[in-house]
Amino acid sequence: MIMKTGVQYLTTIMTSGTNKQYNTISMGIKTLSLKFGLYFSTALTAFFLPITWAITSVVAIVLIDTITGVMSAGKDNIKNISSRKLSNVISKLIYYLFALILCRIAVMFIDNSVPFVKLCLIAVFIIEIKSIDENFYKTFKFSFVDKMLTAIKKFNRK
């Protein structure tokens, strides 16, 4: 008996008069691909589920920064608003989300007792709140961060 390779076997099955074996192999491949898709989507869900709150927070703060930036540009001159400047929002969002994903990987593989994701989120919030404050100052001529800090100082004195 001569041993056939996998390709020769499939060619023999496909050229033979019976499609029963071919249909069995085809069903096996379909089942395998469906199982792979199910396992892959489950793995992605298990990876991203613990950081969905962080992803939502980053998207929200970037959206607020974009809105205040458009308000600031509209206050100065409507010609300051361009698609080139607004495209920076997409790249900034991608960088922030990539940083969150790297922090999630660090939590999984380096040390799960260090809150890498929260530290990354704090850094993103500091950057974005500073940007929102700058836009707010351009629009309304006062800094809300300074107002909050003076309010906190007054509260601590009492």
Kindly report the average pLDDT of the chain as a whole number.
82
Mean pLDDT over 41-61 rounds to 94
Band of residue 1 on the pLDDT scale cut at 50, 70, 90:
very low
The reported pLDDT for the residue numbered 149 is: 87
Exposed / middle / buried, residue 8 (Cβ in 10 Å: 0-12, 13-18, 19+): exposed
More confident residue, 19 or 146: 146
Query: Using an 8 Å Cβ cutoff, are 63 and 130 in contact?
Result: no
For 121-141, the pLDDT digits (tens) are: 999 999 999 999 998 898 888
Band of residue 64 on the pLDDT scale cut at 50, 70, 90:
very high
CB neighbourhood size of 77 (10 A): 8
Domain boundaries, the chain: 6-40, 48-157
Q: Decide if pLDDT at 71 tops 70.
A: yes
What is the value of pTM for the model shown?
0.72
Mean pLDDT over 58-82 rounds to 81
More confident residue, 20 or 137: 137
Dihedral angle, C-alpha 104, 107, 113, 117, nearest 10 °? -20
The reported pLDDT for the residue numbered 105 is: 95
Concatenating the DSSP letter of every residue in the chain gives: -----HHHHHHHHHHSS--HHHHHHHHHHHHHHHHHHHHHHHHHHHHHGGGHHHHHHHHHHHHHHHHHHHHHHHHH-GGG--HHHHHHHHHHHHHHHHHHHHHHHHHHHT-TTS-HHHHHHHHHHHHHHHHHHHHHHHHHSS-HHHHHHHHHHHHHH-
Q: Decide if pLDDT at 60 tops 90.
A: yes
Single-letter amino acid code for the residue at 122: I
